[in-house]
Amino acid sequence: MHKHLSSRSALLDENAALHAQLDEAAETLRAIRSGEVDALVVQSSRGPQIYTLQGQDAETNRFRGEMLAQVSDAIIAVDGDERITYLNAAAERLYGFDGPRALGRTLTTIFKSRWLHPQDEAAARTALQERGEWRGENVHVRHDGHELNVESSITVLRGIDGLPTGQLAVIRDVTERKQNEDRVLVSEIRYRRLFEAAHDGVLVLDAGTHRIIDANPFMTQMLGYPRDQLIGKELFEIGLLRDDAASQEMFRNLERAEQVRYESLPLESPGGRHQTVEVVANLYEENGRPVIQCNIRDITERRRSEEHVKLLMAEVNHRAKNLLAVVQAVAYQTAKHGDPATFADRLSERIGGLAAGQDLLVKSEWKGVEVCELVEAQLAHFKELIGRRVVLDGPPAQLTPQAAQGIGMALHELATNAVKYGALSNGEGRVRIVWKIIADSTPAFSISWLEDGGPKVAAPGRKGFGQIVIGRMAEAAVQGVAAITYGESGLSWNLSAPLEDTLTVIQVAA
């Protein structure tokens, strides 16, 4: 019982002593942590042992710790099993893992490596084995999936015995730099392609020396010089500006306005080719050095087509006014020789005839008109009679615009007359329109309007405008001779003229 009692109190005492020791140890640990302790005396079986905490070593350790916390590169140490034994503040930030959570875990917990080239991984392994260090770039994929472009320097750590104990990695995040490099590279490829493939000439000049420092392929093509012959030359030396004075003026203007534009400059290439170019020069800075970029566009074709359009417009104007003059003359003549009661109708018919001829000329681009088409156009009002009471007979022949106008007007008058008084005024009369090419010493063209089966006709007492049109005017249009006979069964008209004054292509009948 006593023994029991004494042992119980002894246990309580021992318990209290252990509590006190534990409290003391906890206090010591707190003091060590907060840096209040300089040295530690530990009772051991070999007597008291003094451990100095402050002094050279502690100072060095703390300094190292602070330094590693301050550096912006991530620093990670691993043991032989790739378990993390140390990581600095930058590493914690970079991988989003705080120290206590990471320590003791394998490296792959915080990131996995992805290699830029398949062979890089083996190369790194070899370098570490053979030289004990590796430096290079790869991608670290963080535990959250975020990818980092990193530049790492890995060193093998060794113990006193020289055997590897782990690795120390210094890792720099180059993601942003890499992205910038990629952007610059893409941009360089894109703009290089524009420069190389442009269908405008591009020259880059040094603003100080006024000499060419770069030229794109199209420029060399335009000028006919190889690129290396352009480099180092001034603009007036390649025929772009008249002389040195013109060149000086351009550079003065550029300094003032930063852009100079020449709407139209003559450009003579060494091969003697004349071109007209438009030049736009801009002053830029390239890394602090002023350069001038000249864009040179070949506008020779554009100028030519502008000139052509101008010429066409003048031609259209001339023809339109000529036609108005003819209409005016026809109006005078219709009024002078005709019945005032039918003036408006007669004039409208004649203008209609002129318009039909005009259509044919435009259709053939003013080159000429097929006789057959001209006859059909002038007889459009009696289309249903063609092939029945009106017969066309002749070879293909293209009349000149002048001949087409004169003969067209004559056919119009003949048709109007036939319907009113001639072979087409009754139910059975017929008209044959015959044309032929007469191969003779002086080849001629002949066209006849032959009426048959109509009422008897006589020459009109007073010469109306119709008579003038089929007579003198038709003759004048083709430098020919017109013959009119008024017969028992209708009128006959023939116009004969030199071939060269009537047809566009001289054709000789077989």
Partner 1 sequence: MSPPTTSRDNQKKASILIVEDEATLAFCLEEALIDAGFEVAGVAGRLETALAMIHNGVFDAAILDANLAGVSAGPAASAMAARGLPFIVVSGYLPEQQQTAFTGALCLQKPCRPDRVIRALRSILPAQ
Residues at the interface with partner 1 (CB under 8 A) = 314, 317-322, 324-330, 332-333, 336, 400-402, 405-406, 409, 468-469, 472-477, 479
Distance in angstroms (rounded) separating the CA atoms of residues 150 and 178: 9
Nearest CA to 292 out of 281, 300, 302 is that of 281
Task: Tell me the sheet residues that pair with 369.
Answer: 399
Tell me whether residue 269 or residue 402 sits nearer to partner 1 (CB atom): 402
Min dist. Cβ of residue 352 to partner 1 (A): 15
Distance in angstroms (rounded) separating the CA atoms of residues 57 and 341: 134
Task: Tell me the sheet residues that pair with 291.
Answer: 206, 284
Residues 107, 76 contacting (CB under 8 angstroms): yes
Tell me whether residue 22 or residue 320 sits nearer to partner 1 (CB atom): 320
Using alpha carbons only, give the angle 197, 201, 205 rounded to the nearest 5 degrees. Answer: 115
Tell me whether residue 233 or residue 350 sits nearer to partner 1 (CB atom): 350
Tell me whether residue 467 or residue 507 sits nearer to partner 1 (CB atom): 467
Min dist. Cβ of residue 325 to partner 1 (A): 4
> C-alpha 442: how far from its chain's center?
60
Min dist. Cβ of residue 313 to partner 1 (A): 9
Tell me whether residue 12 or residue 355 sits nearer to partner 1 (CB atom): 355
Min dist. Cβ of residue 455 to partner 1 (A): 30
Min dist. Cβ of residue 396 to partner 1 (A): 22
The sign of the CA dihedral 470, 476, 482, 486 is positive
Tell me whether residue 406 or residue 429 sits nearer to partner 1 (CB atom): 406
Residues 450, 432 contacting (CB under 8 angstroms): yes
Distance in angstroms (rounded) separating the CA atoms of residues 370 and 360: 9
Min dist. Cβ of residue 323 to partner 1 (A): 9
Min dist. Cβ of residue 431 to partner 1 (A): 24
Tell me whether residue 166 or residue 401 sits nearer to partner 1 (CB atom): 401
The DSSP line for 291-339 is EEEEEEEE-HHHHHHHHHHHHHHHHHHHHHHHHHHHHHHHHHHHHHHS-
What is the helix (H) or strand (E) element at residue 477, kind and residue range? Answer: helix 474-478
